[in-house]
Amino acid sequence: MISIENRKSRSENFESKNYTFEEIKCAPKFTYFIENNNKIDFYYQYSNKENLIGDFETLTQNKFGISSSFSNKNKLAINGELNYYKNKFKGNPNSIIGYIMMEGLQSGDNLTWALNIQKKITKYVDLNLNYFARKSDYNPVIHNGSVQLKANF
């Protein structure tokens, strides 16, 4: 899939938040179905972003990833994802525009991974476990997680 996107933001009070992005993406994906709704995806995404105003920042991003989705008759669903990003950024990576263009990642090599587990405990109670982490070249791993116990009335 190939797409061209334009995104704009204007702020009267914060000129450093103004941008006009033009982005070209190419994102092929291969999906292998194991059985029923169980699958594994292999994907690649090439992205080229340019800021057409201000400091004219540019980003070339290569993303390689694998994701999986498994569910069974016991009402258990597990979803996982692993991504590798290679960001080549021209501009100030510590600016607001740099943060937005790189979607919170850093210039250079980045890894992200996530795991989501959903279990139906009873007819009315569900348990959700979520975990997300990221790692960049010169920063330690950042871990995020949540647990949700949900009752349906």
How does pLDDT run across 90-141, given as a tens digit for each residue? 999 988 899 999 999 999 999 999 999 999 999 899 999 999 999 998 889 9
| Cα–Cα distance for residue pair 95/117, rounded to 1 Å | 35
Res 16 pLDDT > 80: no
Residues with Cβ < 8 Å from 53, sequence gap 6 or more? 18, 19, 20
Q: Nearest CA to 133 among 106, 112, 115?
A: 112
pTM reported for the whole predicted model? 0.86
12-21, 91-100, 142-151, range with greatest mean pLDDT: 142-151
Q: What angle do CA 77, 132, 2 make, to 5 degrees?
A: 85
Instruction: State the DSSP H helix or E strand holding residue 69, giving kind and residue range, or none if neither.
Output: strand 58-71
